[in-house]
Structure 1
Amino acid sequence: MSAAARFSLKRQLLVWLLLPQLVLWLMGGVLAFRVALAYAEKTIDQSLTQSVRSLARQVKPLGSGLLIDFPRAAQDIMEQDPSDRVAYMVSSPPGSFLLGNTKIPAMQPDLYMPDNEPRLYEVVLDGKPMRVASMDLSFGDGFTDQRMRVQVAKSLVVQQRIARELVRDVLFPLLLLGAVLSVLVYEGIRRGLAPLERLEAQLAHRATASLSPIEMTQAPEEVHSLANALNHLLTTLRRSLSQEKRFLNDAAHQLRTPLAGLISQTELAMQEKDPAALQQRLTKVHTGAQRSAHLVHQLLSLARTEAEVALHPVDVATLAREVAREWTPRAVAAGVDLGYEGEDALTVPGDKLLLREGLSNLIDNALRYAGKGSNVTLRTQVRDGHCLLEVEDNGPGLSAEHLERVFERFWRASELPGGCGLGLSIVAEIAQRHRGTATARTTLPHGLTISFRLPLQG
């Protein structure tokens, strides 16, 4: 068995339920981090815009020059957090360092920017990424116009720290919820598969001899369906085993006597000196062998009728005429008038081989016991919405007491040689397999009629 076939249902359910949860959790973490970065960047941009405008207000035009009113306290405030580095620069003309704590590169490419409109971009200072707000201003005395650029840069370390904190604050509760959900999923799967485990335990400890039905009082509908299917299988198997056991018992019981007789006659024949007496012994051996062969054939037919059969449309009228023709030579040899009456065509759902076997048994039984000079009629007709297959004879018939036992196995009303008491039992089994019945009634003034009553083809 491959590794994939050994992969348990519980593991498959856990993988298919928890793996998507893990993937969604990771995707949620990435998405949350990106959203946190975007919000942190927006916060930094607002802070930089406010800072660059404030710094621009501290630089005031004075004639053709500039008055920079930037107290030391304000400078200390901007540089107070070493980890959150803040750089600023005032240049006039733009790019020519005038004031600040470091030189900040201009936006690339260095395009002309309208006055009093901050522009935001990113640069790398001393190997660290920074966000820059830049704003250009115009000043002068009306004769000579000059331009000034104010730049404030802020490290992105704070942005990343804020993003990490946001992600941590969001994902940690989600991780706890995911762990709780995983436990609940596992427990749900365990409880959901518990009926299957109970079903497995019942099957593992079930005795082969009993094959009793499986009882599932509290289980999901799907497990009930599985249990019902298994119960149907167990019922079929129990019936098959019972039929097999009954067949073996019947065969052992019925073959014991003729085989013992054959052995006895054979031993006597080997000791016989008189040719005429030897001929009589051999005749008895031949008769016993024929009876044993007939018994084996009947037992095998009985076993075949007890199996499940597939029903197909069969024209029983045509089949009855064929069977009657096949038995005509035997009827002539027995001095019996065998004929057919009934429909030209009549279709029923059935198994052609079994129906032929049933009709043959009925004719064989009639020819054997009706007696020389009697009439036997094979008849097909429709009555009360059903098909009737009948074999009628005008022989001695049976008493009312014997009619009740005519379909019992190994029961014989006559001690005439050749029979084994299984022919009419086979007929009853065949009728049952075709969802029909077999009945026997006395024919007036004397005789016997055996009938198949079968449903018509819908």
Structure 2
Amino acid sequence: MTTPPAAGRAPGLSLKRLLLLWLLLPQVLLWLVGGALAYRIALSYAENTIDQSLTQTVLSLSRQVKPMGSGLLVDFPRAAQDILEQDPSDRVRYMVSSPPGQFVLGNRSMPPPPWTDPPPAGETRVYSAELDGQPVRVALLEVNYGEAGAPQRLRVQIAKSMTVQHRIARELVADMLLPLLLTGSLLGVLITAGITRGLRPLKKLEASLGDRTGRTLSALAPIELTEAPLEVHSLAGAVNQLLAAVQRSVRQEKRFLSDAAHQLRTPLAGLIGQTELALRETDPAALRERLQKVHAGALRSAHLVHQMLSLARTEADISFAPFDAAALVREVARESTPRAIAQGIDLGFEGAETLPLLGEKLLLREALINLIDNALHYAGRGATVTLRADASRTEPGLAVIEVEDNGPGLAADELAHVFERFWRASEVPGGCGLGLAIVEGIVQRHGGTVAVAPVVPHGLLVRIQLPAATGPADFGQRLSGDLASM
């Protein structure tokens, strides 16, 4: 399966080509740099060898020039001269001049030294120059002679071509780099084969994902890679986690649709039946009674639809912002006070003045409204409902929101089912069994917990614990960890 590049974006290099580029290109660069360094080192050694040879030769030649009175005696046999000049491509040229620069013996075309100040007598110096367009090394020695009243100075120069040495250096580098080139080529083949083999599990992973293209989301099985590097196993594990999350989402959606169809079927059937009976009624009083039942059924259906939409919202993406939870609880309590008074229930609030939280304010409002609705609906006339919002006294870093009533409460075996969808402990009309399920979903999305407990002698306590916003960055980090573990 090959994924086409995004529209308007040029396709990048493949992972295999990137690996080959980063592994083979440095080898080529090192090979070239190594060749240049080897050539320079070979020339350096050749120059040192030539310099030593020229230094000895210029000393020997200077000894052959002997002062006699105010003149010079050059004892330089013809055989020695022939030996110096016998190789045209690697000739050793010499010149004797006195005073320095005025030709006496040897070759007239001798490159002058690069310095202007004369060197000390008896000190040999070597310098690089060009002679007839070829690089040469030149050794220079100056000696004093003559009488004390008429001192004179003699210069002896010997030059040797570097052509042969350059050729030898090139041959040496070529002989050295050729085996390295062959070795590097073999290494490149091995690297290519190793990368191809190493990326084979990714090809299997790609093929495994491609085989799942035509399947339904609920039928996606986990990816299994028995032989693969650790990084590929980690990638497969991450993909499996994603598939598991998709499957959970699909199951929740299917369950939601199934529950919605099941729960809406009964009230809609009742509405249809009541309207059919109302259409056949001729007595105004009976017709009014039928319409009242239709109205009550429509209210129940509307309440059920509202609850189911709220439940769907708890499973959608949400954004978090800081807010005051204590102010939110007081606000919801004030909004519910008229209904509580109408039902003869004492509704009150107690707790902290401020309680900072980081979350989705509208969703937490929805959770509080559901808890208050449950308490007002099932506590009964004359009951007391108390809302609390404060920091936890036993667990630092947690905020606690409670809704407590002294109504009939629940039996011990019923407490385990209170957060199940569409479960109802009472047949009191008006409920649909989704209120506490919505509360649980909202609290979990905020990284908190919700629990119910009986109240002595009777009643029910619903306690919500949420991470307090003591530090936004710290809270966001803990919240991300909690959501990732869900």
Q: What TM-score, normalized to structure 2?
A: 0.73
Aligned residues: CA RMSD: 4.4
Q: What's 1:377 paired with?
A: 385
**Does the 8 Å CA contact 1:374/1:393 hold for their aligned counterparts?**
no
CA deviation map 1:175-211 (0-9, x unaligned): 4554455456556655665665555555444563245
Measure the CA separation in 1 of the matches of 2:420 and 2:100.
Answer: 121
Q: Displacement, 1:161?
A: 1.8
Kindly tell me: are residues 449 and 146 of structure 1, through their superposed partners in 2, closer, same or farther at Cα, counting changes over 3 Å? closer
Query: Relative to structure 1, is the Cα distance of residues 287 and 76 closer, same or farther in structure 2, using a 3 angstrom cutoff?
Result: same
Deviation for aligned residue 1:243: 2.0
Show the counterpart of 1:107: 112
Shift of 1:260: 3.6
Instruction: Specify the code of the residue in structure 2 equivalent to 1:42.
Output: N
Q: 1:312/1:54 Cα in 2 relative to 1: closer, same or farther (>3 Å)?
A: closer
The alignment covers a number of residue pairs equal to: 452
State the partner residue of 1:247. 256
Describe the shift of the 1:400–1:99 C-alpha distance in structure 2 as closer, same or farther (beyond 3 A): closer
**Distance in 2 separating the partners of 1:305 and 1:342:** 27
What is aligned with 1:360? 369
Identity %: 58
Aligned positions of 1:144-183 closer than 5 A: 149-176=155-182, 178-179=184-185, 182=188
Output the CA distance in 2 between the equivalents of 1:432 and 1:157.
85
Instruction: Give the Cα separation in 2 of the matches to 1:86 and 1:72.
Output: 14
The yes-or-no answer on 1:289 pairing with 2:298 is yes
Q: Deviations over 1:148-184 (max 9, x none)?
A: 5544332221231233234334444544554455456
What is the aligned counterpart of 2:448 among 435, 454, 458? 435
Name the CA shift for 1:54/1:294 in 2 (closer, same or farther; >3 Å).
same
Q: Is the contact made by 2:453 and 2:461 (CA closer than 8 Å) also made in structure 1?
A: yes
**Aligned residue number for residue 337 of structure 1:** 345
Query: 1:427–1:438: 8 Å Cα contact kept in structure 2?
Result: no
SS, match of residue 340 in structure 1: strand
Q: Secondary structure at the match of 2:421?
A: coil
Identify if the C-alpha distance between structure 1 residues 377 and 153 changes in structure 2 by more than 3 Å, giving closer, same or farther: closer
SS class of match (1:408): coil
Report the equivalent of 2:474.
none
Q: For 1:454, give the aligned amino acid.
A: Q
What corresponds to 1:409 in structure 2?
A: 421
Structure 2 CA distance for partners of 1:318 and 1:67, relative to 1, 3 Å: closer
- Which of 459, 462, 465 is the aligned partner of 1:454? 465
Which residue does the alignment assign to 1:419? 431
- CA distance, structure 2, for counterparts of residue 425 and residue 142 of structure 1: 123
Question: For 2:88, what is the secondary structure of its paired residue?
Answer: coil
**Structure 1 residue 291, shift from structure 2 partner:** 1.6
1:393/1:177 CA distance change after superposition, 3 Å: same
TM-score by length of 1: 0.77
Of 350-359 and 294-303, deviating more is 350-359
Contact residue 275 and residue 294 of structure 2 kept, 8 A: yes
Distance 2:239 2:197 in 1: 22
- The amino acid of 2:305's aligned partner reads V
Deviation digits for residues 357-396 of structure 1 (CA, Å, limit 9, x no counterpart): 334334433444455x44242353889837462342445x
Measure how far apart 1:253 and its partner are.
1.8
Whole-Å separation in 1 of the counterparts to 2:427 and 2:308: 19
Q: Cα–Cα, structure 1 residues 104 and 138, in superposed 2: closer, same or farther, change >3 Å?
A: farther
Residue among 236, 259, 266 paired with 2:268: 259
Instruction: Tell me, yes or no, if structure 1 residue 390 matches structure 2 residue 406.
Output: no
Q: Is the 8 A contact 1:436 1:454 kept in 2?
A: yes
Could you tell me how far apart the structure 2 residues matched to 1:385 and 1:113 are? 95
Matched with 1:303 is 312
Q: Which of 32, 56, 61 is matched with 1:26 structurally? A: 32
Q: Deviations over 1:390-422 (max 9, x none)?
A: 342445x66666565444322344444433232
Question: What's the counterpart of residue 51 of structure 2?
Answer: 45
Q: Is the CA contact (8 Å cut-off) linking 1:269 and 1:282 kept in structure 2?
A: yes
Match in the other structure for 1:87? 93
CA deviation map 1:11-30 (0-9, x unaligned): 33443444344334333333
Distance of 1:90 and 1:171 partners within structure 2: 43
Deviation at 1:301, TM superposition (A): 1.9
Which stretch of structure 1 is more off in the superposition, 208-217 or 151-160? Answer: 208-217
Structure 1 residues 343 and 52: CA distance shift in structure 2, 3 A:
closer
Q: What SS is found at the alignment partner of 2:90? A: coil
Judged with a 3 Å threshold, the aligned counterparts in structure 2 of structure 1 residues 137 and 252 are, in CA distance, closer, same or farther, namely same
Q: Please state whether the residue corresponding to 2:79 is helix, strand or coil.
A: helix
Q: Which residue of 2 aligns with 1:11?
A: 17
Shift, 1:296, TM fit: 0.4
Question: 1:18-74: CA deviations, max 9, x gaps?
Answer: 434433433333333233223222222222233333334444556766555444433
Alignment partners' CA distance in 1, 2:80 and 2:117:
30
Gaps of 5+ in 2: 1-5, 471-486
Instruction: Provide the rounded CA distance (Å) in 2 between the counterparts of 1:19 and 1:124.
Output: 38
- Distance in 2 between residues matched to 1:247 and 1:136, nearest whole Å: 108
**CA shift digits 1:268-318 (9 cap, x unpaired):** 656666655554444343333222111101111222334576777776665
